[in-house]
Every structure is written in C-alpha cells, then in structure tokens.
C-alpha cells in the first residue's frame, strides 16, 4: 500500500553506517528526511550524498535529521563513502542505511511493483516530529535531486504548521505569505499584526509572521 501525506511514517530497525537505529526513536522530536538511492557507487547518487553532507548545517538549523538508504550492505556503504568524501570534497556526516533485502524499500513503497530494477528505489520523504509524512517526491534515476528545494519546502512546512498561512509559488524564506481561507477578515488584524494586503477576497497576503 502506498504511503500518503498524513500517514504515520513506518517505523523500522536498521543497520546503518552509524550503528543500529530504531527510526522513530532516532527521530525523537526532530523533523526528518529519508532519501533513497538505487545502489552504491552510482554517479548521480554520489553527488547527492555529497550535497546533503555540505548542507548538514542548514538541516541542523531547522531541527531536521537526515538519513539515506541504499540497497547494498554496510561494507559497500563504507567503501562508497570514501569515494563520496574524495570526489565531492566533503565528509558524509549522517547515517546511510543498509537495505540489501529491500525490507525498508518495500515498507516505504519505494519499488514499483512491476519493476525489479534497483533504479526504481529513488524517493524522498519529509517526516514531521509527529512522525507523519509531510512530503513525498520520487525522482527518475537520471535526475539529481535539488536539496535546496527540499530545504525550501521544509521552511514552508514548518511555517505553515504553526501559522494560518500558505506559501505561494516559488516562495522563499522571508517573502510574503498567503493568509488561509479559514481566517475571517475581521480576525486578520489580531492574528497578523504586521498588516496584510487584500489582493482579492480569496487572496490576502501578509509578511512572513515568524521572522
């Protein structure tokens, strides 16, 4: 069964490059990003794992833990990490799950049922502190993931979880946001003291409330 937004992220116990973990316990009260790779020593994934390592401080600022998964054993992971560190000029600083039997990949519906090729295992899950899935993205093997975009979405998810707002197309941290329809006009001033702009009755904007 596919995982939908709002579902509880399946818990699991796994061996990783940083030891054995129980996923929900490892997340604790943090947000989480779980992203999958088809196999070790693949070129696009090598660049992706390096990119995430370089962005570790940005994830930390947002209280987000990151974890990767690849359908290969730990000894292969450890050799691959050496290549990643060398070629991407960084140090992999987060755990990489070993999933040679596809147990977690299947638990998270990462493998298309009509395809057995490992290259179908290529997904991103953003999980909230409530352990619910907030975002899912599946990429083709030929397209490297944009982790700046994933950070942008996390900024939106964290903002909209705490305020009655939504973020418009291409929104970035610090830009105006949209007041949700659930907020009545007469309540806007109290909820959004920075003021607002009424573009249309259904489109009301306000400065980002948490900065």
Tell me which residues are annotated as active site.
45
Torsion of CA 171, 29, 64, 6, to 10 degrees: -50
Q: How far apart are CA 105 and CA 108, in angstroms?
A: 5
Question: Whole-angstrom Cα distance, residue 134 to residue 18?
Answer: 25
* Among 136, 165, 132, residue whose Cα is nearest residue 153: 136
Distance separating alpha carbons of residues 108 and 103, to the nearest angstrom: 9
Tokens of 6: 């709002």
């Amino acid at each position: 069964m596919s995982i939908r937004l709002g579902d509880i992220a399946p818990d699991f116990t796994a061996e990783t490059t940083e030891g054995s973990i129980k996923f929900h316990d490892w997340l604790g009260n943090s947000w989480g990003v779980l992203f999958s790779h088809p196999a070790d020593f693949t070129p696009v994934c090598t660049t992706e794992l390096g990119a995430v390592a370089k962005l570790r401080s940005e994830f930390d600022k947002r209280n987000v833990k990151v974890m990767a998964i690849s359908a290969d054993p730990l000894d292969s992971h450890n050799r691959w990490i050496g290549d990643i560190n060398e070629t991407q000029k960084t140090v992999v600083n987060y755990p990489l799950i070993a999933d040679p039997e596809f147990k977690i990949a299947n638990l998270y519906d990462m493998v298309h049922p009509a395809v057995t090729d490992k290259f179908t295992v290529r997904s991103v899950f953003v999980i909230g502190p409530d352990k619910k899935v907030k975002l899912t993205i599946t990429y083709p093997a030929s397209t490297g993931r944009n982790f700046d975009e994933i950070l942008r979405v996390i900024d939106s998810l964290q903002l909209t979880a705490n305020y009655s707002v939504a973020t418009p197309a291409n929104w970035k941290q610090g830009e105006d946001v949209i007041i949700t329809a659930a907020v009545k006009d007469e309540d806007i001033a109290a909820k959004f003291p920075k003021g607002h702009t009424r573009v249309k009755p259904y489109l009301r904007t306000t400065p980002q409330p948490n900065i």
